[in-house]
Amino acid sequence: MDLSTSRLMAGYRIWADDLTYRSVSALPDGEAHRQRRTLFGSIIGTLNHNLVVDRIWQAHLLGEEHGFTGRKAILHDTLDALWSAQRAMNRWWEEWSEAQTAASLAEVVQFRFVNGEPGAMTRGEMHLHVVTHATYHRGWIAEMFFEIPAENPTTDLP
């Protein structure tokens, strides 16, 4: 990934998450926590999963232990607290992206997946993974809007 793409992806993530969280906060009371037939149990569970995964990859980039043994942790039970934490994480990704160079984005980082298996990716690949991962799960959330029913947020990168 080159510098301009990394910065574009960081900005896209901020925009798409903002739209998603604003849309979720506009839902009728209880809908964000309502149990649904989805891997993470609810909209709030899926949003928590995105934050958990962000923190895992952040730790990989920093060469730190992340402390997670799974990807289903509920870090924040309220939408406001979760959104505050996600905004802080998104700012971290934006600042991280701004601090990168072509050489640092191409640097390979060794890490361990949550299941203990070893992995290696460039810093740029890791960043792209985090962005596309969140996009994938925002799609799940958009699908859950049809069950409510409510108009889902459209977060495509035009």
For residue 158, the model assigns a pLDDT of: 77
What's the chain's length in residues? 158
For residue 125, the model assigns a pLDDT of: 98
Q: DSSP labels for 79-115?
A: HHHHHHHHHHHHHHHHHHHHH--HHHHH-EEEEE-TT
For residue 157, the model assigns a pLDDT of: 86
Structure tokens that stand for 130 in this block: 């985090």
Place of tokens 């990934």: 1
CA atoms of 55 and 130, how far apart (whole Å): 10
Phi, psi of 85 (to 5 degrees): -65, -40
Residue 70's SS3 state is coil
Phi, psi of 43 (to 5 degrees): -65, -45
CB 117 within 8 A of CB 151: no
Chunked into runs of 10 residues, the chain (158 residues) has average pLDDT values of: 95 97 97 96 98 98 94 95 98 98 98 94 98 96 95 88
The pTM assigned to this predicted structure is 0.95
Of 22, 42, 63, 56, nearest in space to 129 by CA: 56
DSSP character at residue 33: T
